Structure 1
Amino acid sequence: MRKSFKLDEIDCANCALKLEDAIKKVDGVDDAKVNFMTQKLTLTAPDDRFDDVLDRVVALAAKIEPDCEIVR
């Protein structure tokens, strides 16, 4: 399953790349793209695990970029 989410308060392209690289390493993530210009995260993960993977991605994003919020 692939879904897109709005990102609030991603401050720079460097931060977006750092976040994207970290999200790609989360167990269950098939692919992730963070677009600084559109302030969007596109996440691809297995259908049956998507919600669990998304929860882990949200927690990781909060650690890496505390000001950034993934809007569900």
Structure 2
Amino acid sequence: MQTVNISDFRANLLKYLEIANSGKHISVTSNGKLLATITPPENQKEQAKKQLQAIAEKAAVYDVTTPTDCEWDASS
């Protein structure tokens, strides 16, 4: 992770945003104190696919058309 002082960050904002966009994390500090962490953008579509895959691995699928304890007419 790259660390940069706030004054340098302000002076070179576009440069640091391009670095973050390329996949690197940047810590912005002032007097040695961490102010912010700039992270690369997430691919929301890929993130959603990963979350759905994790759910699918744990999900249990049951027959939802057959009632468990009563008679009913599905054509009504």
Mark yes or no: TM-score above 0.5. Answer: no
Pick 1 or 2: higher relative contact order, CA cutoff 8 A, min separation 6.
1
Question: If each structure's strand is expressed as a fraction of its own residues, which one has the higher value?
Answer: 1
The TM-score with structure 2 as length reference comes to: 0.25
Q: Report the structure number with the largest CA radius of gyration.
A: 2
